[in-house]
Structures are given as C-alpha cells and as structure tokens.
A = this chain, B = another copy of it.
C-alpha cells in the first residue's frame, strides 16, 4: 500500500474532492478533536504529548457526510465521527492518519410537531441547545445527561446515552423513533419514524451504541413530551444502603416511574449533602408530569421509602441537586490537584446489587493510593439498577497514576462480571472496556459484531480500534 498522504496534502485532496467542504488543519483545531474526555488518554497525553488526527472536516449536510465517507472508503482512509468529545471511554482517540468528521456544523432543529410529539434534529446540535429550543416551544425530551452542555444529540445515539431522568423518560434507544444514517460506502439509509412497526428487525438498533463503527447519524427523529406541569420530590436519609436499594426496588416493582431515583452511599451523601447526611445514605426522588399523576406517585413512593426506614429531609437537597447537578470538577482539574479519579458505571439486578456495591467499594479502596471508592444509583428498572462508582487516589507520578487507574478499573469490572452484572450501563465500551466485551456478550457476540463490521464497512474506515477488531 502506498504511504498515506501528509496532512496538508490530505486537506488539499479533500478540498478538491468535495468542493465547499469546511476543512480544519491547524494543530490546535485538529488536536482539540483528536480525543474524547477519557482520563487515561488525558494522562497519556501529559506523558507522551497529545494525540492528533491528520485533519478535521466539518460537513454541513448529510450529502457532505456521505461524500466524505464515499471518498474515505475509496481511499481506505480512517474516519473518526466526532460530536463534542465528552465521551469518557476513549471511543475517540486518533492514531495519526484519520480524518475527524466533526458534525458540529449540522446543528439545526429541523422540525417540532406538537401533535405527534416528535422533533427532527441534526446530529451536531448541542444537547442543552436542543432542550432549550424544545422548552421555548413548551416541550422536553426528558434526556438530561450530566454532559448535556458538552454533548450532541448524535453523540447520545452513537453511545447509547442515558439521562438523569431516565427512570421516567427512558434511555436514548426509547427516544429515537427514526433516523438517517450515512454508511461507510457513502450511501444514506433512512429509517422512518413511526409509532411502532413490525417490518423486520428494527434496524436503527444496529447504530444506537455502535460508537461510530457502523455508520454516522445524519438526522434524528426523537419522541418528545409536553413540558411537565409539575415537579414534586424529596430527599430522604436511609438507615442503610441496602434499605435504600430495597425502597427503589419496591418503587419499580409497583410500577411507579419517578424521573429522579438517586441513592448515594454514605461517602457520597457526606460529600454532596453535608447538612442532612449525618453518616447515612441519601435518596433523592422526584416525580414530574401532570398534576394528578405526580401527586399520586409522590405520595405512594414516599410511603414505600418510609416503610424502609427512610426519613423525609424535605425538598431543599433535591432543589440544590437540580440546580448544581452538572457542575462537577473536570478530570483535568483533579489531575492538576495531584489526584487520579474516574467514574465507572455498571448495572446489575436487584438480587445482587447490594453485594456488588459493597464488594467493589471494599476492593477498590484496597488498591494502593486509593483513598475513596464510593457510588450512587441513578437509573432504575424493574430488574435492577446501575451503580455509578467513583474512585479518587493520590496520583504520585503519572506512570503510577495510570497503574492505579488500570487496577481499579480491572477490579471493578471483573467484580461486576463475577457477580453477573453488565460492564457498562451507559458510558459505552470505547477502548477502556474493550478487553472485557467478550465476557459480556460472549465470543459469539463479539464475532457477530465483527461480522456486522465487515459487512457494513468492509474497508474498515469507520472509527477503527473501537468496540471490536476485524
């Protein structure tokens, strides 16, 4: 194979091949889009210098996306689809010769239909802009990831995102009704938005969570809802973590769907709700929707919580969380303070969640230099819930920090597999969880995914190195 063209040459070729395409080739613009927010790659960058793709293109339409892919397929050029880079698993990490496909210019809200409660939007729209535009029209999608100001609607679909209100509104795969996807060969696939269909397998699920390896979303149709008439919720302290888990299990079992279902262990409760926590776990519950539904639900779930020994601490801690929920320290700022930290989220069924929670916290805390391993539950289902673990350790030098990092991850993921949980509730696989994917879906599942990859992208141009190898 011929030597790949140098970045400047690549920019010139692209400019010639796709007239009018916006191309960025200055170092700062390219490096800013050559990795996501994975802590490990951030640490590696500090040691070895930042990763860099060859060039960035910023298509303004599905046609331009398709043209870039058709060209890349013809020339076997690797392409990394890019939203806003808020991913935390290393799904974006350039190796040197990629074209980054930055979708940020495709940021228009194309249509809001108040009768069918659907919104059609381009993939590069920032999440918070999308929700603000819906709010201005009296609607919400109800998808509120912590990253909402740092992520795009297309990124949500590519990574199988969840929002903080998922227990009511569902996760992104329940919100996505239809889509247009650009395939590796440059063809556009349109899957219609219909209330529900039995017209063969639901093909959009092939792309939701595909982390850019099977296609690129170019248009999305989402389910939306009228803005809620009412929000009603409380904070509770729980006698034990297991009492909190039991309350959540019973709430789900009874068919309630409060938007917010957050249970913090004593460590995180002490960190986030200093005044009320008093060494106890804290449970936040909030219902939203129409008046009648919200009032009935809030009363019923409060009774369930009381039955598990929960003590009502009023609505102020909930309000405070709602106001500040997305203000978290960046990993960068923690590294500056000499710390190494990350979050690892998993999910497991109710019969094992207490064991997993305690075992991971105990084992994580034993890793050298780790001084806090804690967790909270934030997404609940009839079967079980997620756990969002956080660890903080002393950094030492960066090589040591990376060693600590890898060890906590290994401990957490392997304990999760040992107890029968899933290794990723909503952050995805990327590169950080890739070694364990076969433990989750089996060698057979990985083989199937690789077969899909070969079938859809025979030249392997789309985000190579992520999810599976072919």
- Given known A116-B349, A188-B444, contact A422–B199 (CB-CB < 8 A): yes
Task: Kindly list chain B residues whose C-beta atoms are within 8 Å of the C-beta of A350.
Answer: 115-116
Say whether B199 contacts A429, CB under 8 Å: yes
Say whether B293 contacts A192, CB under 8 Å: no
Among residues of B, the one whose C-beta sits closest to the C-beta of A440 is: B199
Say whether B292 contacts A379, CB under 8 Å: no
Say whether B455 contacts A452, CB under 8 Å: yes
- Given known A200-B467, A441-B199, contact A256–B422 (CB-CB < 8 A): no
- Given known A296-B292, A383-B223, contact A198–B194 (CB-CB < 8 A): no
- Given known A173-B202, A209-B202, A451-B455, contact A421–B194 (CB-CB < 8 A): yes
Say whether B456 contacts A385, CB under 8 Å: no
A218 to chain B minimum Cβ distance, whole angstroms, is 13
Say whether B191 contacts A441, CB under 8 Å: yes
Docked Cα-Cα span, A401 to B254, in Å, equals 50
Count A-side interface residues using an 8 Å CB cutoff.
91
Task: Kindly list chain B residues whose C-beta atoms are within 8 Å of the C-beta of A194.
Answer: 347-349, 383-384, 421-422
Chain B CB within 10 A, most for which of A162, A255, A349, A425:
A255
A370 contacts chain B at the CB level, 8 A cutoff: no
* Pairs A-B, 9 closest by C-beta atoms: A205-B205, A194-B422, A160-B198, A195-B384, A296-B296, A116-B349, A197-B422, A455-B455, A195-B381
Beyond contacts A196-B426, A455-B455: 9 other A-B pairs, Cβ-Cβ < 8 A, are: A118-B349, A195-B349, A195-B386, A197-B425, A199-B433, A202-B205, A255-B289, A255-B293, A451-B455
